[in-house]
């Protein structure tokens, strides 16, 4: 297994079927340096290949999920260098994970930290969480989805307010706006995220992947195209063993025995 310097990768849950990636650069409030994000990509490769893993949780510390991209690493970059090297393009790996990814956010989720959380499928927040896009205050703009994903969950006015003022919002506000699905006590957050991951992992991993792919389409396409994608994917579930098993088990009043096929 790969060894990591900036993250901790474990498998948790009663059936050890939930991958947990803990961002672990406490001295820099989990600032997302290039090496850290490369490790996250490698960990996702590893967890995606692991047939037992049905969901992934990404979390940080109680003080910080992540305080952004690493400003110190960026300070001397130039346009030609970042454009030529497609700077931080590889962050996208998180949004391309085939398995469901849950962000468990305690403390600061700022800049790239907020963007990383938004690349995940579900965000659970601790009561102390703060979400913001403060890039404007350091002379740049969000570069990993902040201007695009935020508006799709909180609407234009709030997204503009957050990106243009740089001021963060609280967990409670984020829940009201629909940015996060639930707010929990900080100490229970990761355990609850793992519990949610276990629930997801109890279903057919094949069908879960198809469902995630279909919901994600709503982000990318028009309603008509999305509805067609959904319908065809729904039809496709009838080509699987697990669809037959799920419905048969219901009719026979017994729990299903999914084989991810
Ligand atoms: N980068 C590098 N180091 C950081 C960062 C960061 N983003 N955030 C905190 N740190 C470091 C501090 O420099 C400090 O280090 P040191 O002890 O060596 O001085 C240490 O972490 C602790 O930080 P503070 O002393 O500042 O802690 P406080 O509790 O006083 O404050 C804050 C916490 C409010 C979170 C504060 O640290 C802060 O404002 N951080 C910066 C937040 C920010 O502006 N984030 C946006 C960064 S820009 C960005 O994310 C661009 C995204 C583009 C992504 C593109 C991808 C394709």
Domain at 221, CATH number = 1.10.12
For the chain, the maximum distance between any two Cα atoms, rounded to a whole number of angstroms, is 65
pLDDT of amino acid 142: 98
Do 75 and 189 belong to one domain? Answer: yes
| CATH code, domain carrying 138 | 3.90.226.10
Asked whether the predicted pLDDT for residue 207 surpasses 80, the reply is yes
DSSP for residue 61: -
Ligand 1 lined by 131 (C-beta under 6 Å): no
Do 26 and 155 lie in one domain? The reply is yes
Least confident window among 88-92, 105-109, 135-139, 180-184: 88-92
Question: What pLDDT score was predicted for residue 2?
Answer: 83
Residues 196 and 223 in one domain: no
Say whether both 147 and 238 belong to one domain: no
Are residues 181 and 53 part of one domain? yes
Bridge partners (DSSP) of residue 131 are 109, 169
Q: Are residues 89 and 210 in the same domain?
A: no
In a domain, 259, yes or no: no
Could you tell me the pLDDT band of residue 91, with boundaries at 50, 70 and 90?
A: very high
- What tokens were used for 241? 């063993």
Domain assignment present for residue 34? The answer is: yes
135, 143, 145, 159: the catalytic one is 135
Tokens in use for 148?
A: 């695009």
Spatial distance between the Cα atoms of 59 and 154, rounded to a whole number of angstroms:
22
The stretch 82-87 carries a mean pLDDT of 92
Cβ of 125 below 6 Å from ligand 1: no
In this structure, are residues 149 and 177 in contact, taking their beta carbons and an 8 Å threshold?
no
Q: Is residue 176 scored above 90 in pLDDT?
A: yes
Look at residue 244 and tell me if it is in a domain. Answer: yes
Which sign does the torsion angle of CA 193, 194, 197, 202 carry? negative
Q: How far apart are CA 19 and CA 39, in angstroms?
A: 14
Q: Which residues pair with 58 in a beta bridge?
A: 21, 103
Atom of ligand 1 nearest to the CA of 110: 45
Specify whether 15 is located in the same domain as 137.
yes
pLDDT beyond 90 at 167 = yes
Separation of alpha carbons 223 and 12, rounded Å = 37
Q: Is residue 260 part of a domain?
A: no
In a domain, 261, yes or no: no
Distance in Å, CA 52 to ligand 1 centroid: 36
Q: Does residue 258's CB lie within 6 angstroms of at least one atom of ligand 1?
A: no
ipTM: 0.94
Q: What is the mean pLDDT of residues 181-210?
A: 98
**Based on the domain organization, do 140 and 227 belong to the same domain?**
no
The reported pLDDT for the residue numbered 125 is: 98
Residue 1 pLDDT grade (very low, low, confident, very high; cuts 50, 70, 90): confident
Across the chain, mean pLDDT equals 97
In a shared domain, residues 197 and 217:
no
Per-residue model confidence as pLDDT tens digits over 96-122 = 999 999 999 999 999 999 999 999 999
Total domains in the fold of the chain: 2
Assigned domain for 164 exists: yes
Judged against a pLDDT cut of 90, whether residue 151 lies above it is answered with: yes
| 236-254 mean pLDDT | 98
Q: Are residues 227 and 142 in the same domain?
A: no
Mean pLDDT to the nearest integer, 170-178:
98
* Ligand 1 close to Cβ of residue 135 (< 6 A): yes
Q: Is residue 229 part of a domain?
A: yes
Tens-digit pLDDT profile for residues 13-48: 999 999 999 999 999 999 999 999 999 999 999 999
- For residues 106 and 168, membership in a common domain is answered with yes
Going by CA atoms, what residue is nearest to atom 40 of ligand 1? Answer: 67
Which of 201, 221, 239 represents a domain boundary (last residue)?
201
Q: Answer yes or no: do 237 and 117 share one domain.
A: no
> Does 28 fall in a domain?
yes
The domain in which residue 101 lies consists of: 7-201
Residue to probe by mutation, ligand 1, list 32, 37, 66, 67, most atoms within 8 Å of CB = 67
Pocket test for ligand 1, best of 28, 109, 131 (most atoms within 8 A of CB): 28
Gap between the Cα atoms of 94 and 29, Å rounded: 20
Catalytic residue check, 115 = yes
């Amino acid at each position: 297994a790969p060894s990591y310097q900036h993250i901790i990768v474990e498998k948790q849950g009663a059936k050890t079927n939930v991958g947990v990636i803990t961002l672990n650069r406490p001295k820099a409030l989990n600032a997302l340096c290039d090496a850290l994000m490369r490790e996250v990509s490698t960990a996702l490769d590893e967890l995606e290949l692991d047939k037992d893993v049905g969901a992934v949780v990404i979390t940080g510390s109680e003080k910080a999920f992540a305080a952004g991209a690493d400003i110190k690493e960026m300070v001397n970059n130039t346009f030609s260098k970042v454009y030529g090297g497609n700077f931080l393009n590889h962050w996208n790996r998180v949004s391309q994970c085939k398995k469901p990814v849950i962000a468990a956010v305690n403390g600061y989720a700022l800049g790239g930290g907020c963007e990383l959380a938004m690349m995940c499928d579900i965000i659970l927040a601790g009561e102390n969480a703060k979400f913001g896009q403060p890039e404007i205050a350091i002379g740049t703009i969000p570069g990993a989805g902040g201007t695009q994903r935020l508006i799709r969950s909180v609407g234009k006015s709030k997204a503009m307010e957050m990106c243009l003022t740089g001021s963060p919002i609280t967990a409670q506000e984020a829940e009201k706006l629909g940015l996060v699905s639930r707010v929990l006590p900080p100490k229970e957050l990761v355990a609850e995220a793992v519990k949610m991951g276990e629930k997801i992992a109890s279903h057919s991993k094949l069908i879960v992947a198809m469902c995630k792919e279909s919901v994600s389409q709503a982000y990318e396409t028009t309603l008509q195209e999305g509805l067609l994608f959904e319908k065809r994917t729904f039809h496709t579930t009838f080509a699987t063993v697990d669809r037959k098993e799920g419905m048969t088990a219901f009719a026979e009043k017994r729990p299903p025995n999914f084989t991810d096929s």
